[in-house]
Amino acid sequence: MTDISTQDDEQARERKLAQEQGKKKEQDEQREREREQEKGKKKEQDEQREREREQEKGRKKGLEEERGREQKKGGTGMGLTIVIALIVIALLVVVVAYMTLSVSVTDVTPGNVLPYTTMYSVTFPEGQAIAIGNSHVSVLSYQGELITDIDGDRQKLINGQTRTIAERRATVNSLGSIRLTDTIFKIDLTYKGDRDNQAYFDMAVHTSKQIPDMLLQKLIPREIDARPM
């Protein structure tokens, strides 16, 4: 009887031990699953933080690129504005310089070399004194002839004859006192007939230097209709 009871007790202890071991194993497995879950959760959190860091890097890079483009655009715009401003200033200087062009004419000793010639077709209004440089010219037709007066020296001309305005020095200034150029010149006026109270001439302007037409025109008064030939 005692043996049976002892055997039962042993079996009961074994079952209890097995249960305890099973329970402990289950607890260990549960803890392992929790650790794995915790690892997975932590890994997911790390990956999320990494994604957020990459997104933040991308956002910062985008902002830097945008600022760079804006700075480049701003620099280009500023450079273009400066170029336009310089062009406008240069044009204004040119316009002012042209508007303030003036010519002063003085006497010189004759006999200078005048290798350059510019030709004009001109008309003189009859009976009106015209100033060319510091010379005064007037013309008046009478009975098929033209009476010309240059600085008080009167002569009659017929078609094809020439009168000369003696050598002078012309100095071209701008902006008041800036000398642009100077040249010695002489003018030959060849009479070509008259019409409607206008005397027609071929005018040859001989100069010691090559002078731009724009400056040469400053020698010719407005009363004379001069057209390049």
Mean pLDDT of 140-166: 88
pLDDT at position 73: 60
Mean pLDDT of 77-102: 73
Q: Are residues 23 and 53 in the same domain?
A: yes
Asked if the model's pLDDT at residue 120 lies above 80, the reply is: yes
Q: Are residues 173 and 118 in the same domain?
A: yes
Last residue within a domain, chosen from 99, 124, 154: 99
**Domains contained in the chain, number:** 2
**Gap between the Cα atoms of 187 and 199, Å rounded:** 16
Residues making up the chain, counted from first to last: 229
Q: Are residues 109 and 196 in the same domain?
A: yes
Asked if the model's pLDDT at residue 187 lies above 90, the reply is: yes
Q: Are residues 170 and 221 in the same domain?
A: yes
pTM exceeds cut of 0.75: no
Q: Are residues 1 and 36 in the same domain?
A: yes
pLDDT at position 82: 83
What range defines the domain where residue 112 resides? 102-228
Range in 4-8, 113-117, 186-190 with the lowest mean pLDDT? 4-8
Q: Are residues 90 and 108 in the same domain?
A: no
Strand ranges of the sheet holding 162-174, from the earlier edge strand across to the other edge = 102-107, 162-174, 178-195, 198-207, 116-125, 225-228
Identify which of 162, 158, 222 has the alpha carbon closest to the alpha carbon of residue 194.
158
Residue 36 banded pLDDT, cuts 50, 70, 90: confident
Residue 21 banded pLDDT, cuts 50, 70, 90: confident
Range in 52-61, 76-85, 128-137, 146-155 with the lowest mean pLDDT? 76-85
Asked if the model's pLDDT at residue 64 lies above 60, the reply is: yes
Residue 92 banded pLDDT, cuts 50, 70, 90: confident
Last residue within a domain, chosen from 99, 134, 162: 99
Residue 164 banded pLDDT, cuts 50, 70, 90: very high
Last residue within a domain, chosen from 35, 65, 99: 99
Q: Are residues 219 and 161 in the same domain?
A: yes
Asked if the model's pLDDT at residue 1 lies above 60, the reply is: no
Q: Are residues 25 and 119 in the same domain?
A: no
pLDDT at position 186: 95
Q: Are residues 14 and 115 in the same domain?
A: no
Q: Are residues 91 and 185 in the same domain?
A: no
Asked if the model's pLDDT at residue 135 lies above 60, the reply is: yes
Which parts of the chain are beta strand (E)? 102-107, 116-125, 130-132, 135-142, 145-150, 153-157, 162-174, 178-195, 198-207, 225-228
Residue 56 banded pLDDT, cuts 50, 70, 90: confident
Q: Are residues 31 and 108 in the same domain?
A: no
Q: Are residues 133 and 222 in the same domain?
A: yes
**DSSP 8-state code for residue 3:** H
